[in-house]
Amino acid sequence: MLEQGTISIHTENIFPIIKKSLYSDHQIFLRELVSNAVDAIQKLKMVSRAGEYAGNVDEPEIQIAIAKDQKTLSITDNGIGMTAEEVKKYITQVAFSSAEEFIQKYQGKADQPIIGHFGLGFYSSFMVAQKVEIDTLSYKEGAQAVHWTCDGSPEFTLEDSSRTTVGTTITLTLLPEEEEYLEPSRVKNLVKTYCDFMPVPIKLEGEVINQQKAAWRESANNLTPEDYLEFYRYLYPFQEEPLLWVHLNTDYPFIINGILYFPKMRPDVDVTKGQIKLFCNQVFVSDNCEEIIPQFLTPMRGVIDSTDIPLNVSRSALQGDRTVRKIGDYIAKKVGDRLKELYRDNREQYISAWKDLGTFVKFGVLNDEKFKKQVEDIIVFRSTAKLEEQAAATPAVEVQSQEGDVWQDVKPAATSGTPYTTLKEYLERNKERHENRVLYSTDEASQATYIELHKNQGLEVLFMDSFIDTHFINFLEREYNDVKFTRVDSDLDNTLLEQDKAGEIVDPTTNKTKSEIIKELFEKSLNKPKVNIRTEALKSDDPQGTPPAIVLLPEILRRLREMNAMMQQQNAEFPEDHILLVNTAHPLIQNLVNLNQGTIIQSDTQSPTNPLVNLICQHVYDLALMSQKGFDADGMKSFVERSNEVLTKLTQQANS
């Protein structure tokens, strides 16, 4: 026996701390031991380049072996190995990181960075093992192999070994409650999770079980579009192809590599939960990058790898500091730069991706002043205008490389024809018709009648119908404080109305105009004092194609109602106070007036048409309400009943 001694520690009861407090998850012991093995292999390559080792370094590998009968799990590398003195220095002195000292000596000679920085990674093995053994032989000429043993107490033994190959084997005799790590499937899963992209083959039972190639560490020039897609499919199987992606690679003012993807937005995607994987020197650290990625880019996917991101000692959490904020700003800027370039150089592709990108961009504008300034001029809206045909593009790759921030686009565009416009373009195009006024729709289906009225008179409507647009309209009004935003169902532009009422004929029987008769008729039939009846003739070449009546909700009152509902976390109820605009030019309304005149003539007795007139007025009002989704359950029940009654009376009258 060479020596028997006591592990040098600076804190009493270090092993209970390691086992219970230092690491939040026991399974990361394998990540730490494999990381150490990769480090040992990289160190051997570095001393070989320095001319200090003449042996073979061209076939690096890590072997994982399981002996179920002995309850042991071992990790073997053909790396640099250790002498007895190095074992005492780097193993028996807890928290002394050999990586730090080694980097200082061989700085500039590594093709891959050294992973270890904490010096405590090896001791994570005691979370799962009742005994840990190290069998190692240093690369140094004439070195004696040594065997180190510790049972989880401060006591260790160090003796000569018969090992003849350079490298190290760590053998864990597992605790009874940790024997799950004797299952090959469990070990494979852990390697795939934490060590899949380590640059050394990891073997289990003779089979290589890790990918090794980290796409984000490759030069952008060495990757094809299919490489990027394959990497995305590997990270996120069974998902739709991404819209586009960005390859980040910079070493100043911090080191960061990564590939970030813009995914297709799906209703079941939780936009508050990030799916970007954080790596440190190709070692998986966390699925949680919220502290690094700006909040509005949280739905992005992909990988970020940086040695400059400060982690706690167990690598389980980020340590928030100025560097993290700078990295977040850098990522946001690169995303903004790319979007601007795409808008400028390939607007068709930009438009095709906007349905999904728009949510990212608008949320970023609302929450990040720097990002807002970058992209405020490239925010687009779908429009009813017959603009020059625009195109939609299939997914493309956008790669930002270290060599001069060169970007590359691939895949041809396909024609779409859906018109999109910026707000500035809209205002310029419509300044003669309605200067500094924006007509918009929030629901194309329910507001179709109103949209069609505007289109028929040549008025352009913008669609602001994403879930974020309610807030975004308020932002736009602050940015464009001289511009008025009016939803298509809040009021009607004078362009939509016939303005000449001077020639309206007065009925000699009632001494009232037709508009006055219609207004009184609806007021009496509806008997809803809070409903303001307006009579107007909607302008149209085909009156039958216009609605007989529409409901209008004044912009300010509607917004107040929606705001109150949001603050009270309730659905906004349809207000009793609203406007019913009756279209006096519609044939149905004219027929209704004629039908009502028969009722007046026979006023001495109950006219058979009187109930029908009232029912039709109610029905016209119901149809107008439907476009505003103004029915509750009772209202819908009443509508169905009235509809049946109207049809019954009409068929009776036709048969009489």
Q: What is the distance between the alpha carbons of residues 311 and 325, in angstroms, rounded to a whole number?
A: 14
pTM attached to this predicted model? 0.73
CB atoms within 10 A of CB 47: 18
Centre a 10 Å sphere on the Cβ of residue 396 and count the other Cβ atoms it contains.
Answer: 22
Any idea how long the chain is? Answer: 656
User: Which tokens belong to 259?
Assistant: 């590939």
Per the CB < 8 A criterion, the answer to whether 79 and 37 are in contact is yes
Question: What stretch of H or E contains 654?
Answer: helix 633-655
Mean pLDDT, the chain, rounded, equals 82
Task: Pick from 128-137, 308-317, 642-651 the range whose average pLDDT is largest.
Answer: 128-137
Other beta carbons within 10 angstroms of residue 378's beta carbon come to 18
Q: Is the pLDDT of residue 503 over 60?
A: no
CB 170 within 8 A of CB 110: no
Contact assessment for residue 355 and residue 396, using Cβ atoms and an 8 Å cutoff: no
Lowest mean pLDDT among 148-162, 383-397, 463-477: 383-397
pLDDT given at position 596? 81
Q: How far is CA 637 from the centre of its chain?
A: 41
Q: Is pLDDT above 60 for 582?
A: yes
pLDDT given at position 268: 59
Q: How far apart are CA 158 and CA 220, in angstroms?
A: 48
What is the C-alpha radius of gyration for the chain, rounded to an integer number of angstroms? 37
Given a contact cutoff of 8 angstroms between Cβ atoms, the answer to whether 228 and 409 are in contact is: no
Q: Among 75, 102, 105, which residue's Cα sits nearest to residue 90?
A: 102
Please check the confidence at residue 372 and state whether its pLDDT lies above 90: yes
Beta strands at 155-160 and 3-6: parallel, antiparallel or unpaired: antiparallel
Q: What is the pLDDT of residue 512?
A: 82
DSSP H or E segment with residue 536? strand 531-536
pLDDT of residue 601: 46
Q: Is the pLDDT of residue 402 over 50?
A: no
Q: Give the residue, 621 or 100, on which the prediction is more confident.
A: 621
Q: Cβ–Cβ contacts within 10 Å for residue 15, how many?
A: 18
3-class secondary-structure state, position 450: helix
**Which range (226-240, 293-307, 596-610, 612-626) has the least confidence?**
596-610
What pLDDT shows up at residue 500? 66
CA distance linking residue 330 with residue 336, whole number of Å: 10
Q: Residue 543 has what pLDDT?
A: 87
Task: Quickly count: other Cβ atoms within 10 Å of residue 622's Cβ.
Answer: 20
Average pLDDT, integer, range 375-391: 77
Q: What is the pLDDT of residue 160?
A: 96
Predicted local confidence at residue 575, as pLDDT: 80
Helix axes 610-626, 514-526, angle to 10 degrees: 80
Lookup result for tokens 């007795």: 605
Q: Which two tokens stand for residue 607?
A: 């006219």
Mean pLDDT for 588-603 is 73
Asked if 3 and 167 count as a contact pair (C-beta separation under 8 A), the reply is no
Q: E strands along 138-274, which residues?
A: 146-150, 155-160, 167-174, 202-204, 207-208, 244-250, 256-262
Q: Where are the beta strands (DSSP E) in 293-342?
A: 301-305
Which residue carries 């519609």 as its tokens? 586
Q: Which residues of 290-329 are buried (b: 16+ CB within 10 A; e: fewer)?
A: ebbbbebbbbbbbbbbbbebebeebbeebeeeebbeebbe
For 252-278, the DSSP string reads: SSS-EEEEEEEPPP-TT--TTS-EEEE
Q: Which residue has the higher pLDDT, 25 or 554?
A: 554
Concatenate the DSSP letters of all residues of 289-326 into one string.
-TTTS-GGGTT-EEEEE-SSS-B-TTSSSB---HHHHH
Lowest mean pLDDT, pick from 50-64, 93-107, 280-294: 93-107
d(CA 1, CA 327): 52
Q: State the CB neighbour count (10 A cutoff) for residue 495.
A: 14
Burial of 99 (0-12, 13-18, 19+ CB in 10 A): buried
**Strand 578-583 relative to strand 531-536, pairing:** parallel
Residue 108 CB-density burial (10 A; 0-12 exposed, 13-18 middle, 19+ buried): exposed
CA atoms within 13 Å, Cβ hemisphere of 570: 7
What is the CA angle 19-20-24, rounded to 5? 100
When pLDDT is cut at 50, 70 and 90, the band that residue 81 belongs to is very high
Strands 484-487 and 437-441: parallel
Task: Tell me how far apart the alpha carbons of residues 52 and 43 are, in angstroms, rounded to a whole number.
Answer: 11
User: Would you state the pLDDT for residue 11?
Assistant: 45
Alpha-carbon gap, residue 277 to 288, rounded angstroms = 7
Alpha-carbon distance of 23 to 45, in angstroms, equals 31
pLDDT digits (tens, 9 = 90+) for 527-536: 999 999 999 9
Strand, helix or coil for residue 101: helix
User: What value does the mean pLDDT take over residues 419-445?
Assistant: 92
Judged against a pLDDT cut of 90, whether residue 427 lies above it is answered with: yes
Measured in Å, how far apart are the chain's first and last C-alpha atoms?
Answer: 119
Going by their DSSP bridges, the two strands 512-513 and 506-507 should be labelled as antiparallel
Answer whether 399's CB lies under 8 Å from 342's CB. no
Cβ partners under 8 Å of residue 82, min gap 6: 90, 91, 134, 136, 138, 146, 168
Model confidence over 605-630: pLDDT tens digits? 555 678 888 889 999 998 888 877 76
Question: For residues 25 and 510, what is the distance between their CA atoms, to the nearest angstrom?
Answer: 87
Please answer whether residues 21 and 124 qualify as being in contact, where contact means their C-beta atoms are separated by less than 8 angstroms: no
- The arithmetic mean of pLDDT across residues 334-361, rounded, is 88
Q: How far apart are CA 248 and CA 576, in angstroms?
A: 55
Q: CB of 191 within 8 A of CB of 34?
A: yes
Nearest-angstrom CA–CA distance, 79 and 136: 10
Q: Give residue for tokens 């593009």.
A: 393
The angle at the Cα of 137, spanning 131 to 140, to the nearest 5 degrees, equals 150
Token pair of 111 as six digits: 């093709």
